[in-house]
Amino acid sequence: MNYLFAGLPLLSVQSWTYILVGLTFSLYIFIAIWSRASSTKDFYVAGGGVSPLTNGAATAADWMSAASFISMAGLISFMGYDGGVYLMGWTGGYVLLALTIAPYLRKFGKFTVPDFIGDRYYSGTARLVAVLAAIIVSFTYVAGQMRGVGVVFSRFLETSIEWGVVIGMLIVFFYAVLGGMKGITYTQVAQYCVLIFAFMVPAIFIAIQMTGTPIPQLGFGGTLEDGTFLLDKLDSLHRDLGFHEYTSGKKSMIDVFAITCALMVGTAGLPHVIVRFFTVPDVRSARLSGGYALILIAILYTTAPAISAFARTNLLQTVYNEDTKEHVEYKAMPDWFKKWEETGLVAWSDKNNDGRIQYVAGPAIKGKTPTFAEDNGANGERLVTNPDESSKNELYIDRDIMVLANPEIADLPNWVIALVAAGGLAAALSTAAGLLLVISTSIAHDLLKMQLMPNISEKGELLAARISAAFAVVVAGYFGINPPGFVAAVVALAFGLAAASFFPAIILGIFYKRMNKEGAIAGMVVGLSLMLFYMLSYKFNMFGPTTADDWWFGISPEGFGTVAMVVNFVVSIVICQFTPAPPLEVQQIVEEIRIPSGAGEAQDH
């Protein structure tokens, strides 16, 4: 493939990474300075005058986080058929958000989700609960983004993950705190262009390399040079190594449904995505920008399954010799493997002391979190310090490296490898910026301005928002250095929290006039508390070790947001039946935001 780009300078991957990351970061900072916020309206909603196409691109970048760019294809690579729940949930969720929620919230005319809940439920307590939920959801989500930043920096700029997170923090701090939503919006447009180009270029190259077609989606169902179908080949490799077939699933149907539903309704309750629909002039523009965003998002999401299959096939063929049914000796492993070893995200332990990497089904490590020795073993391996000796598998691979390592495994040109690094950073930083803005506006506008300090000046509120964003950057950096799991898995928990807290309150607030403050507050508190308890118990083992056998109804923590959401709905509706109806003026507002006539103009109440 390198002969196609013989005219480009023969620079190292690291040199190309410095060039491309330096150029993209300079662009982001320039845009932040050019579009810096001068008022609270600029800071919160970019002045409310963003065009639909611009907002659609910014929304797509905000939506396609490190989980979409870095981790989703990696999860599908390892989970196969079962990984499809992430595709179904996230894409279906955006459709749900764009069609059923965003236009009505835009017509209501409020800056934030807590703002909507506070006014719709005529209660400072409801606003306070919503602020708390927004902060919890956003911090959980941003932890995944910062881990993604650390993974990229640790490999491609050869820094530690800790320093990678710190550098990412400084960049986000600069353009999020200086530019607010106005700066973030135009920066995210640039970041969308970078991330989608970085995602598609290697996908096209590898599709041509493996299947002879430049369209990855067709290559996913295409044939290899030997005439076998790609997916048949992948199933065969999985069977030979003792893995579950790639094209069949192991998850129970109830868990598949629960995860898909939690991701869908969680999407429709995510405050950092919802706020994007307040940056356009009117409801019609909100609908248009939603349509544009869906098209732009679909480019990546329809390509992800192909990238997953390409990466998994190349990986298995790299560490497994099909002709002799023997595993390749370590000394024959390509440079990409040894370079990723240095990050600690790939490791192997030679359990049978034969000098070879044995990659078969089963855990390579004990427990959930691997730790790595500083020195090498007798056969040159980067030791896993807590190997599971009961398993024959000797290879540990962090799922989050699959998209980033894919161009190296496929031996693509150095500039393509570096481009993927720049794209991964664009995806992580664009979403991190949106989340940090949600945290800062929740504190400065919804808590200080609307609750504690109603007489604060606009200048004082803007300063408070920037200080809050700075605080949020520091906390986000801590979670990036001490991540609770894989990027996509952590992000999935954020969706569950949003589903458990915001979705019922928003849906009932729009479509059920009788819904009152008592019901909404009780539902949000119960739903959020239940999801937090389940997440801490069965994901982080805070109350003692647990296994999948302990899950309620066989539902994983990533899918439990569906159960907590149903409980929220039931509690909200039951409580509202035994408490006073909302004031007539509130009921009239609910009627008005659902009237099609005049939908082209934002309604301020």
Mean of the pLDDT values across residues 468-474? Answer: 80
231 pLDDT above the threshold of 50: yes
304 pLDDT above the threshold of 70: yes
Per-residue pLDDT, 204:
94
Q: Confidence class of residue 410 from pLDDT cuts 50, 70 and 90?
A: confident
Contact in structure between 184 and 177 (CB atoms under 8 Å): no
Instruction: Output the 3-class SS for 210-227.
Output: HHCCCCHHHHHCCECCCC
Average pLDDT over the chain, rounded to whole? 80
Q: How far apart are CA 249 and CA 594, in angstroms?
A: 42
597 pLDDT above the threshold of 50: no
Alpha carbon distance, N-terminus to C-terminus of the chain: 59
491 pLDDT above the threshold of 80: no
Q: pLDDT by residue (tens digit) across 328-352?
A: 555 556 677 877 887 777 888 888 7
Q: pLDDT by residue (tens digit) across 241-281?
A: 888 888 887 888 999 999 999 988 888 777 777 777 777 77
Please indicate whether residue 555 or residue 159 has the higher confidence score (pLDDT): 555
Q: Which of 169-178, 320-329, 441-450 holds the top average pLDDT?
A: 441-450
Question: What single string gives the DSSP state of each residue in 424-484?
Answer: HHHHHHHHHHHHHHHHHHIIIIIIIIIII-TT--HHHHHHHHHHHHHHHHHHHHHHHHS-S
Mean of the pLDDT values across residues 445-464? Answer: 78
The one-letter amino acid at 240 = D
Q: How far apart are CA 432 and CA 476, in angstroms?
A: 9
Q: pLDDT by residue (tens digit) across 355-407?
A: 777 888 888 887 766 666 666 666 667 777 778 878 888 888 888 788 888 88
pLDDT above 70 covers what percent of the chain? 86
Q: How far apart are CA 574 and CA 582, in angstroms?
A: 15
Please indicate whether residue 301 or residue 352 has the higher confidence score (pLDDT): 301
**pTM, rounded to two decimals:** 0.81
Please indicate whether residue 419 or residue 172 has the higher confidence score (pLDDT): 419
599 pLDDT above the threshold of 70: no
CA geometry: angle 342, 402, 254, nearest 5 deg? 130
Tell me which H or E stretch contains 352. Answer: none
Q: How far apart are CA 292 and CA 58, in angstroms?
A: 10
Contact in structure between 229 and 307 (CB atoms under 8 Å): no
Contact in structure between 339 and 155 (CB atoms under 8 Å): yes
Mean of the pLDDT values across residues 478-494? Answer: 68
What are the chain's domains? Answer: 11-315+409-483 (1.10.4160), 326-403 (no CATH)
Per-residue pLDDT, 591:
85
Mean of the pLDDT values across residues 509-516? Answer: 91
Question: What single string gives the DSSP state of each residue in 55-106?
Answer: HHHHHHHHHS-HIIIIIHHHHHHHHGGGGHHHHHHHHHHHHHHHHHTHHHHH
Please indicate whether residue 138 or residue 182 has the higher confidence score (pLDDT): 138
Q: Confidence class of residue 486 from pLDDT cuts 50, 70 and 90?
A: low
Q: pLDDT by residue (tens digit) across 148-200?
A: 777 777 777 777 777 777 877 777 777 666 656 666 778 888 888 888 999 99
Mean of the pLDDT values across residues 465-481? Answer: 79
Q: How far apart are CA 284 and CA 228, in angstroms?
A: 49
121-131 burial, b at 16+ Cβ within 10 Å, e below that, comes to bebeebbbbbb
602 pLDDT above the threshold of 80: no
